[in-house]
Each structure stands twice: as structure tokens, then as C-alpha cells.
Amino acid sequence: MTAIAERIGARHGTSRTRSITYGILFLVTGLAIILLFARPTAPAQISTFDLTVRADPRLMLVPQIVLPTRLTLYVFAALSALAGVWQLVAGFRRANWALGGVALIFIVAFLTWATRDGSLNVVSLLRTAFLRSVPLALAALSGVLCERSAVINISIEGMMLMGAFVGAIMGSLALNVLGWSFAVSQGFGLLSALGSGALLGLLLAVLSVRFKVDQIIAGTAINILATGVTSFFSARILSQYRFLNNPGIIPPFAIPVLSAIPIIGPVFFDHNLLVYVMMVLLIGIHVMLWYTVWGLRTRSVGEHPRAADTLGIDVFRNRYINVTAGGMVAALGGAFLVLASVGRFDRLMTAGKGFIGLAAMIFGNWTPFGAFGAATIFGFADALQTRLAILRVPIPSQFLLMTPYIVTIIVLAGVVGEANPPAADGQPYEKE
Amino acid sequence: MRIAFEKRESVSHTVRVLVPLVSLVFALAFGALLLLFSGANPGVAYAAMARGAFGSSRALAETFVKAIPLMLTGLAVAVAFRMLFWNIGAEGQLAMGGLAATGVALFVSEGLPSWSVLPVAILVGTLAGAVWAAIPAALRAYLGVNEVITTLMMNYVAILLVSHMYHGPWRDPAGYGFPGTARFPETAWLPRLYGRAHFGLLFAVVAAAVLWFVLQRTKLGFELRIVGENPEAARYIGIDIPRLMLVAMLVSGGLAGLAGVCEVTGVMRRLQQGLTVGHGYTAIIVAWLAQLNPWAVLLVGFLLAGLLVGGDQIQMAMGLPAAVGLVLQGALLFPMLGGALFTEYRLRIVRTTPEDVGTPEELGLDEARS
């Protein structure tokens, strides 16, 4: 009881300093927009934003947005300065939302500045951002499933890698050796990937739940094992038999009515099946966590396993189920990279995406939609990084790639936002 | 009748030694299956690996080259794990150490007397690693932020920063656009012992000796052990845990930073791709297998390096993937994890008779009473 009181007390204590910090931060953002972007811009420069992807007659109705660069930047600067003043004088009721808004203003201001005398296709940028966020979101959802039942899963990366590998080789086997039809082969590859994820998830669960091996060490071991096994077989098999690493790419499928909506349609509803699967999973996990018996049990196991046990909930069983399911979701993220994005396995293809997913889960405060939102922000940073060279912006791509990690550390430190992990996160449960 | 796990009262020496050996056999068997599956004779492959890693003085030198960073990062991780601080950031601390040493070697060395270049590079690199580790340590000690995530995230920040430096501002202007810095001046080369094996080996041995002494014989080591074994008791007897955490992490990050210094000044002699190849993660396994004992870290680091070098060798000699070494490393761990269970527990067949229903404690009655 005292622990909870302390936590609430601490939150009240920090909230005042935090609201002042936010106010100053907003003012500084406004100043930064003026100094970094508006001042070096000539009065006559113009920024053009395109809002259509293809020359589709239905979509041609959306006009271009043409803005005078310098004036627009001053408007943005004024907006965030105003937000800062309001925050300091009266205070926003939802300061974190205001923070998000100011961050958005800053990004839009940056894009406006970067496209001076040029044009930027916003829809295409957002579309890339969303596509790049899908594997991150799946990794984050895997993290949510595991950590809600108090098992820290740092082997999401390894599970993704294994899912990608198994998806590639089994899909190719079915398509190119067994001669199955394309759709069946893809399904087979996908199911095999899910199976491999389930196995690794089960392994993590057995080690950390049953044998109480430290979750960090068990997770590291799984990562190393997955890296080793996949690079062994990709060197031994895939590089010699190329047809075993060619499962093909799931074709896109535009959702009838929704994909015709201007801007939103091409960004969200004109993708391949796995993207929609991610959306369904997102909603499904949200509903299940908050509106079903399983969700209630999971959350109680994550917050207070002893109390859950007393009420007759099988703590071990719940963790087994969640971590196994988490492994499957992570493997789906890996399979997405192969079957829906690149079309072949590469041993370096996850490149830390599992860890970014973990960061997204934290940034999203251990909730499915929060995690998804964070994943889209991180996906946006990734997509933007690829455009910087085209826009001739002198920011090294590495600095944009760092943002997910730095933002996560800042959030965890409690400078902005609030991190509320499940209370029993990471602790093995010892049955009395 | 049922089979039960019982906690062992005391762990005998035989069990302690036997379990890792049995685990090794299991791991080799798993690797053998993999080799058989890919059409190679496991016996021949293992023999080639052993020869490639330990068979000649040249092979031994290469194994030491790989072992040095594993030993230093293994020690780094072991210090932190001693007090239950999960430092997964040795990789990033190593990167920062290498980066700082590179800065000294490339830009400061000309203004320094030649004898002092290397000591300064070592000092600055070690400090850089320590500072990088101090950030998550301070966050944990004073704000209660989970260090697993922060150390992990800081690895990527460090790796990206290093990559930016040798792709961008520090790239060798005479390097035909190849990503990497210019070669260090000779004053910044870490001397080599034989083959490519360099002085870093001595650093690792000295560090292990000092750590062993500190952990076993000093008040600081005693406090670290208490915090690791029983944080409640540590608080009760008045140990300043946040301060201790900072000290342990400064040492830990410093050792990892030193590993980075050795890599750039002793092996690569420039900063380029290949500084961060996962030593910091393997270190976790090294430390764990060595049960956090400094001397054992040296031995385990050497053996795991042998797996990696042996893997490289059979790739060259037999065309088998070098990843065999990695697979064995990963596989080695699982029987060991199971093995650890058997060193602490034992299987016993329990006869359930009426008078053997259990003591009040076993039935959880004392929980109800309190």
C-alpha cells in the first residue's frame, strides 16, 4: 500500500516541475523553428506538398498544397510559442498531448523548410513510414503480450530473425520444390514461421517461468542461438540453392471503398494482406487485454502474481500462453520482412528492429495502441531518413536512426511522459 | 510416488565441475547434428576447429586476439551482474571506448610527446566507456529507471554514432571514399606480443587479478556481494546502494571501454566497420558461464574465442559456414542453463505416505499465520 502511495506522491511532486519544463520546451521549439528554419529562408521561397501517389483519376481531385515557406514557418513558430505561454500560464490538462502536438509542428516545420524550392510527396512519405512501422508494431505487440504477464522478452529480435528465415525457406520449398500454388505456399511459409516463433517463445517460457533462469540471460541466449542457426543455414543452404530463398512477395490488395479515400486510402488501405493482419491483431490484442477474462488474468499476473494465484489463476499457465503467443507475433514480424517486403532472407535483415519494437512498447506505455503509435513514429523517422539525401538536408541519417532509442531513454527517465510497466515485470514467480 | 525437485543443501565440487562438462558434451552433440545435416563429418569438422583454434602458435595468437575483447567485456559484465545490475550495454561502452581512443590517436597525438600518446588514448577510451555506463547507472540509482532497456538502447546510439564518425567527419580523406578513418600514427599502436596477439591480454589478466582481489578481500567487494545476494540486508546494514551502483558501473563501463581501445589500437589500428560485432552480448554469456568469477571469465572467454576462430578456420578449410562457432555458443548455453538447475536442485523420488504430508512451511501455513 505504501509503495502505491509513494508512487502517486512522486507523480504529484514531479508534475509541477514537468509542466514548467514542458512550457519552456514549447517556447524553445518555437525559437528553434525561427532560428534553424525561418531565418535562413529567403522571402520568395515556396514549399510544395503533393498529396497523391499515382496518376489515378479518382485521386487527382486532391490539390497540391503550395505554401510560402518563410511565412508558414513563422506561423508554426508562433503556434508553438503560444502553446508554451499557455502551458506556463494556465497549463494544458493533457500536457502529453500538447507535447505531441508541438513535436508534430516541429516536424512539419522541418519538412516545410526542407522542401523550400522543391516538392515533397507527403502521401508517399507517410505510406513508406506506415509500411516500415508494421514489423516494428508487430515486435512491439509481442513485447506487450509478454510483459503484460511480467516476462521481459529481449529475444524478440531473435524470434523475428527465425521467423524471417523459416518463412523464407519453407515458403520457397513449397513454391519452388513441391510446386504448390503461390497462395498456398505463402500460407505454408507463414504458418511455419509462426510455428518457429511459438517454439522459441515456449523455450523462453520454459527457461524463465519453469526454471526461473534470469530472463535477460535466457533472452540473450535465444538471440545468439537464432543468429547462429539462421546464419549457419543461410550460408550452408540459401546461398547455394537460391531457389530456396525466393518465396515471392504477397501482392498488394486495395480494400475497395476505403482505399479510394484521399490521402488516408493510399497510406493505410492499399497494402498486402499481412499489413491488415497487423491491424486486426492490434485491435484484437487491445480488446482481449481490456475486455476479456484472459486479459484481466494476464494483467493481474503482471501486476500482482501472488494475488492472482490466491484467486485461483494459474500464473505459470498464463505466462506460458502469453510468451508463446508473443513469440508467434514476433515471428510474424520477421515473416513480414521476407514475405511482404523484401522477398528474400538476409541474415542481417532484422538489424535491431526487435529492439526498436521493445522501445516502441515502452514509449507506448505497455498498451497495444500506444505501442502502435510509437512504432509509426519510429517508422516515420526511418522513412524520413531515406528521404534526407534526396532533399539535400545536411543531417546524417544515423542521427535520425538514433531517435527511437534516445526518445525511449528520455521517456523512461520520466523527463517527458510517464512509464508505468507492469509491477511484477521481470520477476519470476515462486509458488509457495 | 512422485518425482520432485529439491533444493540442494550444499553444492559439491564434483557437481560443480561435472555439470559444465556434461553441458559441453550436449552442445557439441547439438552442433554435430547440425553438421551432419549439412553433410559434413562432425568428428572431422570438430578436429579441424580445434586445430584451427589451438593447434599452432599462429592459431593460438588469433584465438587470443578474439579472446581479449571477450575477456575484458566479460569482466565488465561480471562486475555489474555481481550486484544484480543488468548491464547489457557493454557493446555500446566498447564502441565509445574505441571512438574516444580513435579521437586521441588521430587528432591529439601530434601535440603530445610520443611516449604518452598510447597511455592517453587508453585513459580517454576507458573514461569514455565509464561515462557511457554511468548514464544508465545514474538513471537507475536515482530515478529507478530499468537498466536493461537503457543500456540496450544506448548500444544502438553508440553504434550509430561510431558509424556516423567513420562514414562522415572522420573518414580518411585519402581513402578513396572507403568508410573508415585514416591509419593511426605508430605512436598510437598497442604493442603486439606475438602474431597479432597484443598487450590487451596483459590488461585482461591484470584486470581479472585486481577484480578478484577487490571482490574477495576488500570492503567494497564485500558490499557488492551483499547487494547482489541480499539487497534488503544491504540496505539494513547501511550500504549506500546508489553510490555502489555508480562505482560498479564506472568500473564495468571502463573495462568495456578498454576493450574498445584495444580493438582499435591493437588490432585494426584505425576505426572502421567491425568494431561492434557482438562482443558485448557474448560477454553476457561469458560472465554467466564463468559464474561471475574473474579468473573463470578469462578461461571461458578464451574457450568461446576458440569456437569463433575455429568456426572461421573450418569455413576456410572445409567450406562450412563460420556460424558454426556462433551456433555452438548459443547451444552451449541451454544445457548449461539446465545444468545450473541440477547444481542447485536434485531430482528425488518422493514417496507420499500419510505421515509425509509435509511441514507447515511446505503447506504454506506460515504464510497464513504471518
| Strand spans (E) along A12-159 | 46-50, 65-68, 118-121
Q: Flag if A412 and B152 touch (Cβ within 8 Å).
A: no
Residues A81 and A15: their CA atoms lie apart, in Å, by 21
pLDDT category at A425 given cuts 50, 70, 90 is confident
Domain end call among A96, A116, A136: A116
Nearest CA in chain A to B137: A413
Residue A423 forms part of a structural domain: no
Which chain B residues are within 8 Å of A17, Cβ to Cβ? none
C-alpha cell at A341: 517486403
Instruction: Supply the pLDDT for residue A286.
Output: 94
Residue A419 forms part of a structural domain: no
Q: Which residue has the higher pLDDT, B282 or A417?
A: B282
Q: Are residues A61 and A205 both part of a single domain?
A: no
Mean pLDDT of B299-308: 89
User: Quick one: angle between helices A215-233 and B279-289, nearest 10?
Assistant: 120
In the 8-state DSSP scheme, what is residue B283?
H
Residues 135-154 of A with CB under 8 A from B: 152, 154
Closest partner residue to A225 among B157, B324, B330, by Cβ?
B330
Residues 184-203 of A with CB under 8 A from B: 203
How deeply is A43 buried, as exposed, middle or buried, from its count of CB atoms within 10 A (0-12, 13-18, 19+)? exposed
C-alpha cell at B124: 580517454
Domain end call among A46, A81, A116: A116
Q: Are residues A108 and A143 both part of a single domain?
A: no
Nearest by Cα to A399 from B172, B159, B147: B159
Domain end call among A116, A137, A171: A116
> Å from A343 to nearest chain B CA?
23
Q: Are residues A305 and A222 both part of a single domain?
A: yes
Which chain B residues are within 8 Å of A214, Cβ to Cβ? 86
Nearest CA in chain B to A208: B337
Residues B3 and A284: their CA atoms lie apart, in Å, by 41
Q: Are residues A291 and A344 both part of a single domain?
A: yes
Q: Is A224 on the interface with B (CB under 8 A)?
A: yes
Closest partner residue to A220 among B161, B284, B325, by Cβ?
B284
Instruction: Give the mutation candidate from B135, B143, B157, B366 for the A interface (greatest A CB count, under 10 A).
Output: B157
Domain count along chain A? 2
Which chain B residues are within 8 Å of A207, Cβ to Cβ? 334, 337
Query: Average model confidence (pLDDT) for chain B?
Result: 83
Residue A140 forms part of a structural domain: yes
Q: Is A350 on the interface with B (CB under 8 A)?
A: no
Q: Are residues A135 and A111 both part of a single domain?
A: no
Nearest CA in chain A to B360: A432
Instruction: Supply the pLDDT for residue B348.
Output: 59
Instruction: Supply the pLDDT for residue B240.
Output: 85
Q: Flag if A398 and B161 touch (Cβ within 8 Å).
A: yes
Closest partner residue to A211 among B139, B324, B341, by Cβ?
B341
Interface A:B, Cβ pairs < 8 A: 137
How deeply is A416 buried, as exposed, middle or buried, from its count of CB atoms within 10 A (0-12, 13-18, 19+)? middle
Residues B232 and B241: their CA atoms lie apart, in Å, by 11
Residues 43-102 of A with CB under 8 A from B: none
Instruction: Supply the pLDDT for residue A163.
Output: 94
Residue A229 forms part of a structural domain: yes
pLDDT digits (tens, 9 = 90+) for A30-69: 898 888 888 888 777 878 887 776 655 555 566 778 888 8
Q: Flag if B148 and A229 touch (Cβ within 8 Å).
A: no
Residue A82 forms part of a structural domain: yes
Mean pLDDT of B263-272: 90
How deeply is B32 buried, as exposed, middle or buried, from its count of CB atoms within 10 A (0-12, 13-18, 19+)? middle
Q: Flag if A220 and B326 touch (Cβ within 8 Å).
A: no
> Å from B331 to nearest chain A CA?
6
- What is the percent of chain B where pLDDT is above 90? 30
Domains of chain B: 1-30+323-370 (no CATH), 41-319 (1.10.3470)
Q: Which residue has the higher pLDDT, A9 or B334?
A: B334
Cα A87 off chain centre by: 29
pLDDT digits (tens, 9 = 90+) for A384-413: 877 776 777 777 888 888 888 888 888 777
Q: Are residues A232 and A312 both part of a single domain?
A: yes
Output the furthest CA–CA distance in chain B (Å, rounded): 85
Nearest CA in chain A to B334: A221
Residue A429 forms part of a structural domain: no
Show the domain range for A41. Answer: 2-116
Closest partner residue to A211 among B149, B327, B337, by Cβ?
B337
Q: Flag if A229 and B327 touch (Cβ within 8 Å).
A: yes
Q: Which residue has the higher pLDDT, A211 or A368?
A: A368
Q: Which residue has the higher pLDDT, B355 or B97?
A: B97
Which range (A221-235, B9-23, B168-182) has the least confidence? Answer: B9-23
Q: Are residues A111 and A146 both part of a single domain?
A: no
Helices (H), chain B: 13-37, 42-54, 57-82, 90-103, 114-143, 147-167, 200-217, 219-229, 231-236, 241-262, 279-289, 294-318, 324-344, 365-369
Nearest CA in chain A to B345: A211
pLDDT category at A334 given cuts 50, 70, 90 is very high
Q: Flag if B143 and A414 touch (Cβ within 8 Å).
A: yes
Closest partner residue to B285 among A221, A352, A402, by Cβ?
A221
Q: Flag if A405 and B157 touch (Cβ within 8 Å).
A: yes
> Å from A352 to nearest chain B CA?
8
Helices (H), A115-260: 122-148, 156-172, 182-205, 215-233, 256-259
Q: Are residues A67 and A192 both part of a single domain?
A: no
Sign of CA dihedral B9, B12, B17, B18: negative
pLDDT digits (tens, 9 = 90+) for B307-363: 888 888 887 777 777 777 777 777 776 666 666 666 666 555 555 544 444 444 444
pTM: 0.83
Q: Flag if B340 and A213 touch (Cβ within 8 Å).
A: yes
Residue A220 forms part of a structural domain: yes
Instruction: Supply the pLDDT for residue B346.
Output: 58
Closest partner residue to A405 among B148, B156, B367, by Cβ?
B156
Mean pLDDT of A195-200: 94
CATH of the domain at A266: 1.10.3470
In DSSP notation, A185-203 reads: HHHHHHHHHHHHHHHHHHH
Q: Flag if B284 and A216 touch (Cβ within 8 Å).
A: yes
Residue A256 forms part of a structural domain: yes
Q: Are residues A178 and A104 both part of a single domain?
A: no
Instruction: Give the mutation candidate from B149, B288, B363 for the A interface (greatest A CB count, under 10 A).
Output: B149
Residues B140 and B146: their CA atoms lie apart, in Å, by 6
Cα B369 off chain centre by: 45
Residues A282 and B224: their CA atoms lie apart, in Å, by 44
Q: Are residues A109 and A213 both part of a single domain?
A: no
Mean pLDDT of A272-300: 91
Q: Is A409 on the interface with B (CB under 8 A)?
A: yes
Tell me the ipTM for this assembly.
Answer: 0.80
Instruction: Supply the pLDDT for residue B92.
Output: 95
Nearest CA in chain A to B168: A396
Q: Is the pLDDT of residue B91 over 90?
A: yes
Q: Is A231 on the interface with B (CB under 8 A)?
A: yes
How deeply is A178 buried, as exposed, middle or buried, from its count of CB atoms within 10 A (0-12, 13-18, 19+)? exposed
Q: Are residues A110 and A195 both part of a single domain?
A: no
Q: Are residues A107 and A141 both part of a single domain?
A: no
pLDDT category at B131 given cuts 50, 70, 90 is very high
Q: Flag if A207 and B161 touch (Cβ within 8 Å).
A: no
Residues B363 and A432: their CA atoms lie apart, in Å, by 8
